[in-house]
Amino acid sequence: MAKVVRTDRELEMQGVDAALRAAGHELVLLPDGASEDEFVRALRDAELLLMCYTPVTARAIGSAPRLKGIVKYGVGIDAIDIEAAKARGIAVVNIPEYAEETVAEGAFALMMALAKKLKPIQRAIDDKGWVWPQAQWLGLDLAGKTLGLVGVGKIGSSMARMAQGFRMRVVGFSPNSLFPPGVEKRNHLQELLAECDFVSIHCVLNAETRGLIGERELAAMRPSAFLVNTARGAIVDEAALLRALQERRLAGAALDVYSREPLAKTGHPLSALYAMDNVILSPHLTFYTHEAMARLEAETLERCMEVLQGRPVTIKSYDPRLRAQRKGVRFLD
Protein backbone atom coordinates (compact mmCIF):
# COMPACT_ATOMS: atom_id res chain seq x y z
CA MET A 1 0.00 0.00 0.00
CA ALA A 2 1.16 3.53 -0.75
CA LYS A 3 1.93 6.57 1.34
CA VAL A 4 -0.24 9.56 0.45
CA VAL A 5 0.39 13.14 1.62
CA ARG A 6 -2.45 15.66 1.67
CA THR A 7 -1.66 19.29 2.42
CA ASP A 8 -4.05 22.00 3.59
CA ARG A 9 -5.89 19.68 5.97
CA GLU A 10 -8.06 22.61 7.14
CA LEU A 11 -10.04 22.13 3.93
CA GLU A 12 -11.93 19.04 5.00
CA MET A 13 -12.03 16.13 2.54
CA GLN A 14 -13.52 13.50 4.81
CA GLY A 15 -14.74 11.23 2.03
CA VAL A 16 -11.39 11.20 0.26
CA ASP A 17 -9.44 10.66 3.50
CA ALA A 18 -11.72 7.82 4.59
CA ALA A 19 -11.61 6.08 1.20
CA LEU A 20 -7.81 6.21 1.00
CA ARG A 21 -7.45 4.79 4.50
CA ALA A 22 -10.08 2.11 3.83
CA ALA A 23 -8.02 1.03 0.81
CA GLY A 24 -5.10 0.49 3.15
CA HIS A 25 -3.01 3.50 2.21
CA GLU A 26 -1.05 5.52 4.75
CA LEU A 27 -2.39 9.07 4.79
CA VAL A 28 -0.37 11.97 6.18
CA LEU A 29 -2.21 15.28 6.64
CA LEU A 30 -0.20 18.51 6.72
CA PRO A 31 -1.68 21.80 7.98
CA ASP A 32 -1.75 25.07 6.11
CA GLY A 33 1.47 26.93 6.81
CA ALA A 34 3.63 23.83 7.23
CA SER A 35 7.26 24.69 6.51
CA GLU A 36 8.93 23.50 3.34
CA ASP A 37 11.24 21.36 5.47
CA GLU A 38 8.23 19.60 7.02
CA PHE A 39 6.73 19.20 3.57
CA VAL A 40 9.94 17.72 2.16
CA ARG A 41 10.23 15.24 5.04
CA ALA A 42 6.65 14.07 4.59
CA LEU A 43 7.06 13.64 0.82
CA ARG A 44 10.30 11.68 1.01
CA ASP A 45 8.67 8.24 0.58
CA ALA A 46 5.25 9.31 -0.73
CA GLU A 47 3.74 8.04 -3.98
CA LEU A 48 0.87 10.52 -4.20
CA LEU A 49 0.50 14.17 -3.23
CA LEU A 50 -2.85 15.91 -2.83
CA MET A 51 -2.56 19.67 -2.50
CA CYS A 52 -4.75 22.76 -2.65
CA TYR A 53 -2.84 25.91 -1.66
CA THR A 54 0.60 24.77 -0.43
CA PRO A 55 3.41 25.65 -2.88
CA VAL A 56 4.89 22.54 -4.50
CA THR A 57 8.43 23.61 -5.34
CA ALA A 58 11.14 21.98 -7.42
CA ARG A 59 12.91 21.16 -4.15
CA ALA A 60 9.86 19.36 -2.78
CA ILE A 61 9.39 17.42 -6.01
CA GLY A 62 13.07 16.54 -6.17
CA SER A 63 12.96 15.17 -2.62
CA ALA A 64 10.31 12.56 -3.48
CA PRO A 65 11.85 9.77 -5.57
CA ARG A 66 8.72 7.57 -5.34
CA LEU A 67 6.21 10.29 -6.23
CA LYS A 68 3.93 9.26 -9.12
CA GLY A 69 1.30 11.97 -9.18
CA ILE A 70 0.20 15.38 -7.88
CA VAL A 71 -3.54 15.92 -7.59
CA LYS A 72 -4.66 19.51 -7.09
CA TYR A 73 -8.04 19.23 -5.40
CA GLY A 74 -9.22 22.46 -6.94
CA VAL A 75 -8.61 24.39 -10.14
CA GLY A 76 -5.62 26.75 -10.00
CA ILE A 77 -2.22 25.14 -10.61
CA ASP A 78 0.02 28.19 -10.24
CA ALA A 79 1.44 26.90 -6.92
CA ILE A 80 2.92 23.79 -8.60
CA ASP A 81 6.29 23.73 -10.35
CA ILE A 82 4.90 21.80 -13.29
CA GLU A 83 8.16 21.86 -15.25
CA ALA A 84 9.93 20.14 -12.36
CA ALA A 85 7.18 17.52 -12.24
CA LYS A 86 7.32 16.97 -16.02
CA ALA A 87 11.08 16.49 -15.86
CA ARG A 88 10.50 13.65 -13.41
CA GLY A 89 7.57 12.16 -15.31
CA ILE A 90 5.19 12.94 -12.43
CA ALA A 91 1.61 13.44 -13.61
CA VAL A 92 -0.09 16.66 -12.47
CA VAL A 93 -3.87 16.97 -12.59
CA ASN A 94 -6.49 19.38 -11.31
CA ILE A 95 -10.27 19.19 -10.86
CA PRO A 96 -11.47 21.96 -13.17
CA GLU A 97 -15.23 21.49 -13.43
CA TYR A 98 -16.58 20.87 -9.93
CA ALA A 99 -17.48 24.48 -9.05
CA GLU A 100 -17.92 26.39 -12.30
CA GLU A 101 -21.55 27.32 -11.68
CA THR A 102 -20.91 27.57 -7.93
CA VAL A 103 -18.19 30.22 -8.23
CA ALA A 104 -20.25 32.17 -10.76
CA GLU A 105 -23.13 32.22 -8.26
CA GLY A 106 -20.72 33.43 -5.57
CA ALA A 107 -19.40 36.21 -7.79
CA PHE A 108 -22.92 37.28 -8.68
CA ALA A 109 -23.92 37.32 -5.03
CA LEU A 110 -20.94 39.54 -4.19
CA MET A 111 -21.82 41.90 -7.05
CA MET A 112 -25.40 42.15 -5.85
CA ALA A 113 -24.28 42.78 -2.27
CA LEU A 114 -22.13 45.69 -3.48
CA ALA A 115 -24.99 47.14 -5.52
CA LYS A 116 -27.44 46.94 -2.61
CA LYS A 117 -24.96 48.16 0.05
CA LEU A 118 -25.65 45.10 2.17
CA LYS A 119 -22.46 45.36 4.23
CA PRO A 120 -22.95 48.92 5.58
CA ILE A 121 -26.69 48.40 6.03
CA GLN A 122 -26.07 45.20 8.02
CA ARG A 123 -23.44 46.95 10.14
CA ALA A 124 -25.80 49.84 10.83
CA ILE A 125 -28.77 47.68 11.75
CA ASP A 126 -26.59 45.49 13.98
CA ASP A 127 -25.47 48.64 15.77
CA LYS A 128 -28.70 50.68 15.86
CA GLY A 129 -31.47 48.13 15.42
CA TRP A 130 -33.04 50.00 12.48
CA VAL A 131 -32.23 52.56 9.78
CA TRP A 132 -34.52 54.81 7.73
CA PRO A 133 -34.36 55.57 3.99
CA GLN A 134 -31.54 58.08 3.74
CA ALA A 135 -29.15 58.94 0.92
CA GLN A 136 -26.29 56.92 2.44
CA TRP A 137 -28.28 53.69 2.00
CA LEU A 138 -29.26 54.26 -1.64
CA GLY A 139 -28.30 51.22 -3.68
CA LEU A 140 -28.21 50.49 -7.39
CA ASP A 141 -30.36 48.50 -9.80
CA LEU A 142 -28.46 45.90 -11.77
CA ALA A 143 -30.88 46.16 -14.67
CA GLY A 144 -29.48 48.44 -17.33
CA LYS A 145 -25.94 48.39 -15.92
CA THR A 146 -22.90 47.09 -17.82
CA LEU A 147 -20.97 44.11 -16.51
CA GLY A 148 -17.46 43.53 -17.81
CA LEU A 149 -15.99 40.02 -17.67
CA VAL A 150 -12.23 39.57 -17.64
CA GLY A 151 -12.18 35.96 -18.77
CA VAL A 152 -15.15 34.40 -20.54
CA GLY A 153 -14.54 30.70 -19.98
CA LYS A 154 -17.07 28.44 -18.28
CA ILE A 155 -17.32 30.46 -15.06
CA GLY A 156 -17.42 33.77 -16.92
CA SER A 157 -20.07 32.42 -19.30
CA SER A 158 -22.21 31.33 -16.35
CA MET A 159 -21.82 34.78 -14.83
CA ALA A 160 -22.89 36.32 -18.14
CA ARG A 161 -26.05 34.18 -18.28
CA MET A 162 -27.02 35.21 -14.75
CA ALA A 163 -26.42 38.89 -15.51
CA GLN A 164 -28.47 38.71 -18.69
CA GLY A 165 -31.32 37.31 -16.61
CA PHE A 166 -31.18 40.57 -14.63
CA ARG A 167 -31.24 42.54 -17.90
CA MET A 168 -27.65 43.68 -17.61
CA ARG A 169 -25.53 44.44 -20.65
CA VAL A 170 -22.46 42.17 -20.71
CA VAL A 171 -19.11 42.81 -22.38
CA GLY A 172 -16.09 40.56 -22.23
CA PHE A 173 -12.33 40.45 -22.70
CA SER A 174 -10.91 36.98 -23.20
CA PRO A 175 -8.41 36.45 -26.01
CA ASN A 176 -8.68 32.65 -26.07
CA SER A 177 -12.40 32.06 -25.55
CA LEU A 178 -15.46 31.62 -27.72
CA PHE A 179 -18.02 34.16 -26.58
CA PRO A 180 -21.52 33.02 -25.57
CA PRO A 181 -24.55 34.66 -27.19
CA GLY A 182 -25.24 38.18 -26.04
CA VAL A 183 -21.75 38.94 -24.71
CA GLU A 184 -20.09 41.77 -26.61
CA LYS A 185 -16.41 41.13 -27.27
CA ARG A 186 -13.78 43.76 -26.49
CA ASN A 187 -10.31 43.33 -27.97
CA HIS A 188 -8.60 45.63 -25.48
CA LEU A 189 -8.86 45.36 -21.71
CA GLN A 190 -8.78 49.10 -21.06
CA GLU A 191 -11.62 49.60 -23.54
CA LEU A 192 -13.74 47.20 -21.52
CA LEU A 193 -12.80 48.67 -18.15
CA ALA A 194 -13.73 52.20 -19.22
CA GLU A 195 -17.35 51.35 -20.05
CA CYS A 196 -18.36 49.10 -17.15
CA ASP A 197 -20.32 49.63 -13.97
CA PHE A 198 -19.10 46.29 -12.60
CA VAL A 199 -16.00 44.29 -13.54
CA SER A 200 -15.74 40.63 -12.57
CA ILE A 201 -12.52 38.63 -12.98
CA HIS A 202 -12.73 35.03 -14.20
CA CYS A 203 -9.41 34.26 -15.90
CA VAL A 204 -6.73 31.80 -14.78
CA LEU A 205 -3.53 32.97 -13.12
CA ASN A 206 -0.45 32.46 -15.28
CA ALA A 207 2.57 34.46 -16.41
CA GLU A 208 0.41 36.56 -18.75
CA THR A 209 -2.34 37.39 -16.26
CA ARG A 210 -0.28 38.02 -13.13
CA GLY A 211 -0.81 41.70 -12.32
CA LEU A 212 -3.16 42.05 -15.29
CA ILE A 213 -5.28 44.61 -13.41
CA GLY A 214 -2.71 47.17 -12.36
CA GLU A 215 -2.49 50.90 -11.69
CA ARG A 216 -3.19 51.84 -15.31
CA GLU A 217 -6.15 49.48 -15.62
CA LEU A 218 -7.71 50.64 -12.35
CA ALA A 219 -7.30 54.24 -13.52
CA ALA A 220 -9.28 53.36 -16.66
CA MET A 221 -12.30 52.33 -14.58
CA ARG A 222 -15.03 54.77 -13.70
CA PRO A 223 -14.99 56.20 -10.16
CA SER A 224 -18.53 54.79 -9.86
CA ALA A 225 -17.45 51.26 -10.84
CA PHE A 226 -17.01 48.15 -8.68
CA LEU A 227 -14.46 45.33 -9.00
CA VAL A 228 -15.23 41.69 -8.12
CA ASN A 229 -12.46 39.08 -7.94
CA THR A 230 -13.24 35.41 -7.31
CA ALA A 231 -10.41 34.08 -9.52
CA ARG A 232 -6.91 34.60 -8.07
CA GLY A 233 -5.62 37.48 -5.98
CA ALA A 234 -2.40 37.95 -7.96
CA ILE A 235 -4.33 38.81 -11.13
CA VAL A 236 -4.82 42.21 -9.47
CA ASP A 237 -2.08 44.55 -8.26
CA GLU A 238 -3.52 44.59 -4.76
CA ALA A 239 -1.46 47.53 -3.54
CA ALA A 240 -2.78 49.59 -6.46
CA LEU A 241 -6.33 48.45 -5.70
CA LEU A 242 -5.98 49.45 -2.06
CA ARG A 243 -4.77 52.92 -3.07
CA ALA A 244 -7.64 53.32 -5.55
CA LEU A 245 -10.17 52.46 -2.85
CA GLN A 246 -8.54 54.69 -0.23
CA GLU A 247 -8.47 57.59 -2.70
CA ARG A 248 -12.07 56.91 -3.76
CA ARG A 249 -11.11 56.32 -7.38
CA LEU A 250 -13.33 53.22 -7.28
CA ALA A 251 -16.80 52.87 -5.77
CA GLY A 252 -15.95 49.56 -4.11
CA ALA A 253 -14.76 45.99 -4.44
CA ALA A 254 -15.67 42.45 -3.43
CA LEU A 255 -12.80 40.00 -3.02
CA ASP A 256 -12.78 36.26 -2.37
CA VAL A 257 -9.10 35.69 -3.21
CA TYR A 258 -5.81 37.28 -2.17
CA SER A 259 -2.18 36.94 -3.15
CA ARG A 260 -1.34 36.17 0.46
CA GLU A 261 -3.79 33.91 2.25
CA PRO A 262 -5.13 33.85 4.85
CA LEU A 263 -6.15 37.47 5.02
CA ALA A 264 -5.72 38.98 8.49
CA LYS A 265 -7.05 42.00 10.37
CA THR A 266 -3.52 43.04 11.33
CA GLY A 267 -0.10 42.57 9.78
CA HIS A 268 -1.38 41.87 6.27
CA PRO A 269 -0.83 44.22 3.28
CA LEU A 270 -4.61 44.40 2.84
CA SER A 271 -5.62 44.73 6.50
CA ALA A 272 -7.00 48.23 5.86
CA LEU A 273 -9.79 46.75 3.74
CA TYR A 274 -11.61 45.41 6.81
CA ALA A 275 -12.66 48.92 7.85
CA MET A 276 -14.13 49.88 4.47
CA ASP A 277 -17.93 49.74 4.14
CA ASN A 278 -17.63 49.64 0.34
CA VAL A 279 -15.44 46.48 0.38
CA ILE A 280 -16.81 42.97 0.90
CA LEU A 281 -14.25 40.38 1.98
CA SER A 282 -14.87 36.66 1.56
CA PRO A 283 -12.39 34.00 2.82
CA HIS A 284 -11.87 32.14 -0.49
CA LEU A 285 -15.16 30.30 -0.06
CA THR A 286 -17.23 31.00 -3.18
CA PHE A 287 -16.55 27.39 -4.24
CA TYR A 288 -17.76 25.97 -0.93
CA THR A 289 -21.23 24.43 -1.21
CA HIS A 290 -22.55 20.97 -0.38
CA GLU A 291 -22.99 20.15 -4.04
CA ALA A 292 -19.61 21.42 -5.21
CA MET A 293 -17.73 19.64 -2.43
CA ALA A 294 -19.47 16.36 -3.24
CA ARG A 295 -18.36 16.72 -6.86
CA LEU A 296 -14.84 17.70 -5.79
CA GLU A 297 -14.40 14.73 -3.46
CA ALA A 298 -15.77 12.22 -5.98
CA GLU A 299 -13.51 13.35 -8.80
CA THR A 300 -10.46 13.83 -6.59
CA LEU A 301 -10.82 10.22 -5.46
CA GLU A 302 -11.08 9.06 -9.09
CA ARG A 303 -7.81 10.82 -9.97
CA CYS A 304 -6.12 9.40 -6.84
CA MET A 305 -7.10 5.86 -7.77
CA GLU A 306 -5.72 6.33 -11.29
CA VAL A 307 -2.34 7.36 -9.86
CA LEU A 308 -2.22 4.65 -7.19
CA GLN A 309 -3.31 1.90 -9.59
CA GLY A 310 -0.78 2.90 -12.23
CA ARG A 311 -3.39 3.96 -14.80
CA PRO A 312 -3.12 7.05 -17.01
CA VAL A 313 -4.40 10.12 -15.18
CA THR A 314 -7.39 11.83 -16.78
CA ILE A 315 -6.79 15.50 -17.66
CA LYS A 316 -10.01 17.45 -18.20
CA SER A 317 -8.45 20.92 -18.07
CA TYR A 318 -7.52 22.80 -21.24
CA ASP A 319 -4.73 24.67 -19.47
CA PRO A 320 -1.71 24.37 -21.80
CA ARG A 321 0.59 23.73 -18.85
CA LEU A 322 -1.28 20.50 -18.14
CA ARG A 323 -1.87 19.68 -21.80
CA ALA A 324 1.90 19.74 -22.39
CA GLN A 325 2.33 16.59 -20.30
CA ARG A 326 3.29 13.49 -22.25
CA LYS A 327 3.76 10.77 -19.64
CA GLY A 328 1.20 8.99 -17.52
CA VAL A 329 -1.78 11.06 -18.63
CA ARG A 330 -4.76 10.92 -20.98
CA PHE A 331 -6.73 13.89 -22.21
CA LEU A 332 -10.51 14.06 -22.08
CA ASP A 333 -11.79 16.38 -24.81
Strands (E) across 39-180 are located at 48-51, 69-72, 91-93, 146-150, 169-173
Quick one: average pLDDT of 89-98?
Answer: 97
CB–CB of 42/28 below 8 Å?
yes
Instruction: Give 101-119 pLDDT, tens digit per residue.
Output: 999 999 999 999 999 999 9
Residue-level pLDDT at 296: 98
Question: Where does the pLDDT of residue 177 fall: very low under 50, low under 70, confident under 90, or very high at 90 and above?
Answer: confident
In 3D, which of 104, 116, 103 has the Cα closest to residue 252? 116
Residues with active-site annotation:
232, 261, 284
Quick one: average pLDDT of 303-314?
Answer: 98
In 3D, which of 311, 332, 314 has the Cα closest to residue 68? 311
CB–CB of 32/283 below 8 Å?
no
* Residue ranges of domains in the chain, CATH in brackets: 3-98+290-331 (3.40.50.720), 100-281 (3.40.50.720)
Q: Rounded to two decimals, what is the model's pTM?
A: 0.93
Contacts of residue 221, Cβ cutoff 8 Å, sequence gap at least 6: 193, 194, 196, 199, 227, 249, 250
Question: Where does the pLDDT of residue 308 fall: very low under 50, low under 70, confident under 90, or very high at 90 and above?
Answer: very high
**Mean pLDDT for all residues in the chain:** 97
Rounded Cα gap, residues 26 and 230, in angstroms = 34
pLDDT surpasses 90 at 233:
yes
pLDDT surpasses 90 at 176:
no
Contacts of residue 129, Cβ cutoff 8 Å, sequence gap at least 6: none
Helix, coil or strand: residue 180: coil
Residue-level pLDDT at 100: 96
Omega into 262 within 30° of 0, i.e. cis?
Answer: yes
Residue-level pLDDT at 187: 95
Residue-level pLDDT at 175: 83
pLDDT surpasses 80 at 332:
yes
Contacts of residue 14, Cβ cutoff 8 Å, sequence gap at least 6: 297
Q: What is the 3-state secondary structure (H, E, C) of 87-100?
A: HHCCEEECCCCCCH
Phi then psi for residue 89, to 5 deg, are 70, 25
Neighbours of 61 (CB within 10 A): 24
pLDDT surpasses 90 at 38:
yes
In 3D, which of 214, 220, 262 has the Cα closest to residue 241? 214
Neighbours of 280 (CB within 10 A): 21
